[in-house]
Amino acid sequence: MFITLEGPEGSGKTSQVPQLAKYLRDLGWDVLTTREPGGTDIGDQIRQVLVSMENKALHPRTEILLFLAARAQLVEQVIKPALAEGKVVLCDRYADSTLAYQGYGHGLDLPALRSMLQFATDGLKPDLTILLDLPVEVGLSRKKKEDEWNRLDAYEVKFHERVREGYHILAGEEPARWKTIDASQPREVVQENLRAVVLLSLQNQSLIADSSN
Ligand code: TYD
């Protein structure tokens, strides 16, 4: 099963994923975690270009091609092989980040983005996508406090408002795939909600697999 976590800045995905993975492993699931951009040696090199504060001149079209390049590598090298081995793949950001940030945030052409995403991912879509949702100001102030400020965070607040709104639109378009969790709650509560959502989906998926055998 392929599970992705999405959300605006400071939603806490990155600290929640390892805890969620440990919980699932303790229950006996074979879990692989990865993150975007990055997740492979080549992807991590691309990530450095994307987040460097020195690369202020990066054009949105260049930016998106770099995200897609890192993703194509991740899909082929990591995600597809893990799914083929029956693993649960937990990915911190995936194609929906591109639609939310480059599409809704920067206003790039959504149909064009969708076809480029199809190409980059070879059509691989998540079975479940969890949106860790929280108000933009709360997320940005969390990140500033944690001193994790990078080039992509430094865009104006309005950009992040569009990103969040984009996520809401995407989740509304495909309610069967998306589950939304209020990430402004305390971290432990968010983790509990995450566990409940993922377990339910894994159980449903197992039931479907059993009934088709
Ligand atoms: P990162 O430090 O991983 O942020 P976070 O912890 O919030 O995931 O940086 C990734 C940044 O890249 C983040 O601002 C979102 C952005 N991004 C895009 O704009 N498009 C994409 O396709 C992806 C995967 C990420």
Contact residues for 43 (Cβ-Cβ < 8 A; gap 6+): 36, 37, 70, 71, 73, 74
* pLDDT score at 135: 95
The total of other beta-carbon atoms located within 10 Å of residue 59's CB is 9
Ligand 1 site: residues with CB under 6 angstroms? 9, 13-14, 36-37, 51, 67, 93, 97-98, 101-102, 150, 152
What is the CA(9)–ligand 1 centre distance, in A?
8
> pLDDT for 60-115, tens place per residue?
899 999 999 999 999 999 999 999 999 999 999 999 999 999 999 999 999 999 99
* pLDDT score at 91: 97
Mean pLDDT by 10 residues, the chain (213 residues): 96 94 98 94 96 91 95 98 98 97 95 98 98 94 77 80 97 98 97 98 84 72
* pLDDT score at 151: 74
What is the CA(37)–ligand 1 centre distance, in A?
7
Contact residues for 181 (Cβ-Cβ < 8 A; gap 6+): 130, 131, 132, 133, 190, 193, 194, 197
Would you give the distance in Å from CA 175 to the centre of its chain?
A: 16
Q: Which of ligand 1's atoms lies nearest the C-alpha of 150?
A: 2
List for the chain the helix, strand, coil content (%; round to 5): 60, 10, 30
Give 209's DSSP letter: H
* pLDDT score at 159: 93
Whole-angstrom distance, CA of residue 80 vs CA of residue 91: 12
- Mind listing the domains of the chain with CATH numbers? 2-212 (3.40.50.300)
Tokens 């992509």, residue located:
152
With the most atoms of ligand 1 within 8 angstroms of its CB, the residue from 101, 104, 132 to mutate is 101
* pLDDT score at 152: 67
Q: SS3 for 137?
A: helix
Q: What are the residues facing 89 on neighbouring strands?
A: 2, 32
With the most atoms of ligand 1 within 8 angstroms of its CB, the residue from 58, 97, 157 to mutate is 97
In this structure, what token pair is assigned to residue 160?
A: 């992040």
* pLDDT score at 114: 98
